[in-house]
């Protein structure tokens, strides 16, 4: 199963139409998108949606699959971001501290303190 299949499936489910998803969300042709969804259904082994004249309707299996497809896409994106963060060199840091309180006296030059 490829991530693009999951992206396509989620886009179709969100759009409610293969044509709308293909043209407006995925910028591909509807026949190509239909083939990709069919390939996904073959791999899963069950129909994920019913195709009709007025769009698509997810099957009960498709509804269950949709939640997991969304989670898989979120996890894949998180993995990509983690890898990119790990590849960046550590950034140098600069720390500055302060001492405060009533008992602090003046500091003299040369390491000696005047009392």
User: Mind listing the pLDDT tens digit for each residue in 55-91?
Assistant: 899 999 999 999 999 999 999 999 999 999 888 877 7
Say if residue 108's pLDDT is above 70. no
3-class DSSP state of 9: helix
User: Mind listing the pLDDT tens digit for each residue in 48-60?
Assistant: 999 988 889 999 9
In angstroms, the CA 69 to CA 37 distance is 13
Eight-class DSSP state of 110: G
Mean pLDDT of the chain: 87
Q: Does the pTM exceed 0.85? A: no
3-class DSSP state of 105: coil
């Amino acid at each position: 199963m490829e991530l693009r299949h999951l992206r396509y499936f989620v886009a179709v489910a969100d759009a409610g139409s293969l044509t709308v998803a293909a043209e407006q969300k995925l910028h591909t042709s509807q026949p190509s998108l239909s083939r990709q969804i069919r390939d996904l259904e073959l791999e899963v082994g069950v129909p994920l949606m019913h195709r009709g004249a007025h769009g698509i309707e997810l099957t009960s299996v498709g509804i269950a699959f949709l939640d997991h497809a969304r989670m898989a896409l979120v996890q894949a994106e998180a993995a990509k971001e983690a890898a990119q963060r790990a590849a960046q060199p550590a950034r140098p840091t600069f720390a500055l501290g302060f001492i405060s309180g009533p008992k602090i006296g003046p500091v003299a030059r040369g390491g000696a303190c005047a009392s």
